[in-house]
Chain A
Amino acid sequence: MANSASILLPRTSLRASLMTLPMALWSLVIFSPGLRAGSNAQKLATLLVLAFTTSLFFLMLRSGKTYHYRRIFFVSLGFLFPVGFITELVMLRGSMSLPMESVLGGNAPFCAMAIPMTLVPAALKRILVFPGAILPTASNPNAFAPMVAVWFLAMLIMGRGWCSMGCFFGGIEEGFASILKKPKVKRFPGILKLLPWAVLLFIVLLSALSLSSTYCAWLCPFKAVTEFAKIRNVVTALQFIIPCLLFATLVVILPLLSRKRTQCALFCPFGAFQSLIDKVHPVQIRVDREKCKDCMLCEKACTNLALDSDCLKSGKPGSGCVKCGACVDACKSGAVRYHVRGTSLSARAETARLFFLYSGWCFATMFGGSILVSSLATVFHLI
């Protein structure tokens, strides 16, 4: 019989409510400007998101499960962000396409996914290979410096947990991956798990060679749901078609058929880049070999293809782990757990989980919650 130290029993509602209070207060602080000074639509959106995020946190604490409730937040973020973003683009400039004047004028909004590409050219030539501003301006608040600051903060707080709580694109494929009950595609060749690293090396080298943001220009699948360079010729047409094909394949079709986040696990170079930095993050997923029964339920549950028999033998998941909690929740023997570096594996697993949840959810509320409020308010304005 598993002891309660290894498998968490549900908390009482009272206890969970008390533990949720700090998060509720934090959310109130974050969202209070919207409650005080916004329009009615803004206020309603803020109230809904405040209730939404706080409820989910309460349920995570009460049930002792992470994955299911985190997924609800993450999928909501993934689908609402493009809705709000595209609506704003259409209202501002009439289409999703980015005019060449904005690109040449350095007014393209900066996305954190471009960070790996900017490093080598910045080091060699001291230039920013992205058509955006370094500091925010009135016409372009999403500049390089603030986005890098936000990303850096996320790395400090969550490590690669960004990919399961912060990335406003990952929720789209996680949503599609959740639709079917049983996968139609059950296996991927093992070598493909290294493909994100190969794509990362490729775009870093090519960006250094061409002094341009190669990934953004040619390979980012999420241009299909955000913005893209205005189609003027064959090259710009290809720069739209290729990402759309990648979106259809990696974000919609393959996740639907395999129930896995194939874009994140098999392609995303930014995820691979984050895995490097995650190596020093204090919270990791670990497998207690003494408790593990090799039932492989964790491997089936993992949406990022980060667990296999070799990983279980070594006691830790592969570099694709996004700390989503699916394996932890699936493990019936309490062998898979959140773990704080430097502590013993026999230490209380729930402490590490709470440490991660409180810090990660604070960021998720601040960052993702703000995006949800903005997107919902945009939708309400349209109604």
Chain B
Amino acid sequence: MVAAPAEALALGFSSGLVCMVSCGTLLLPWLGARGQDFKGTARLMGQFLSGRLAGYLAFAVLAWALGWLLARSPSREHLALGLAQVGLSIVLALDGFSLLRRPSCPVGKKPLWSRLGSWAPLGLGLLTGLNLCPPFLMALLQASKGHHLGHALLFFLCFFLGTAPWLAPFLLVGTFRRSQALVKVARLTTLIMAAYYLFTGTLLLLGSFLHG
């Protein structure tokens, strides 16, 4: 009973550096673009991690229900990853655009892109949670073996807890907010990231479509 959660925790912690680099590629410019202080950055990280946990738990349900169906088929894996990356690019672009073009008048209804941008932390967390790297696939396999849904959920929760501490250093990004130039650079990088994820996501979707 204890072995599976401990295994998940160990798996998450051992692959944390991959998560740190993988999420960091997105988190560093995106948190920098927000220009928040330490508290603000911590709040954003909390929202991001909540979205990530929600993504992990959703996958736990999928793993239990579909028996690791996704990971058995490379084209379905590409389809899932491609959709996630395209979704990520849309969220990043909306958020980046909303930061660069803040409404000049604070009174009245905010434009759509600004309202959508406020959901960005959760959305980004959810979509970055879907990263079908080997540790994640292993977690998926382990979770799918269990007969109970609770087993799968517990496994992924422990996997999440194992990876989460590796993201703690990004709380320090808020210290750079005093430099307006750095904040603008981070915003531009966020938009470049959006273009990158759109490009790679489109390639994955095309590959999934062409190779069945």
Contacts and interface: CB of A to CB of B under 8 A. Distances in A.
A224 B89 CA distance: 28
B79 interface: no
Contacts of B100: 191
Contacts, number: 45
B185 A201 contact: yes
A197 B176 CA distance: 15
Question: Is the interface on chain A under 10, 10 to 19, 20 to 34, or 35 or more residues?
Answer: 10 to 19
A216 B119 CA distance: 35
Secondary structure type dominating chain B contacts? helix
B184 interface: yes
Contacts of A205: 24-25, 28-29, 189
Interface in B101-136: none
B21 to A, nearest CB: 5
A206 interface: yes
Interface in A180-203: 191, 194-195, 197-199, 201-202
A55 to B, nearest CB: 41
A149 interface: no
Interface in B164-196: 181, 184-186, 188-189, 191-193, 196
A202 B185 contact: no
Contact of B192 (A124, A191, A202): A202
Contact of A209 (B25, B188, B189, B192): B25
A208 interface: yes
B28 A191 contact: no
A198 B22 contact: no
A201 B28 contact: yes
Contact of B21 (A194, A201, A208): A208
A197 B25 contact: no
Interface magnitude class on chain B: 10 to 19
B196 A202 contact: yes
Nearest to B17: A124
B184 A199 contact: no
Which secondary structure characterizes the binding site on chain A? helix
Interface string B28-68: 11000000000000000000000000000000000000000
Given A202-B193, A202-B196, A206-B196, A191 B188 contact: yes
Contacts of B193: 202
A252 B186 CA distance: 28
A195 B191 CA distance: 11
Contacts of B196: 202, 206
Interface string A114-125: 000000000010
Contacts of A202: 29, 189, 192-193, 196
A195 B25 CA distance: 17
A201 B190 CA distance: 10
Contacts of B191: 198
A112 B169 CA distance: 31
A300 to B, nearest CB: 24
Contacts of B192: 198-199, 202
A208 B25 contact: yes
A380 to B, nearest CB: 44
Given A198-B189, A198-B192, A201-B29, A191 B184 contact: yes
Among all A-B residue pairs, the 4 with the closest Cβ atoms: A198-B188, A205-B25, A198-B189, A197-B185
Interface of A: 124, 191, 194-195, 197-199, 201-202, 205-206, 208-209, 235
26 contacts: A124-B17, A124-B21, A191-B184, A191-B188, A194-B181, A194-B188, A198-B29, A198-B185, A198-B186, A198-B188, A198-B189, A198-B191, A198-B192, A201-B185, A201-B186, A201-B189, A202-B29, A202-B189, A202-B193, A202-B196, A205-B24, A205-B189, A208-B21, A208-B24, A208-B25, A209-B22
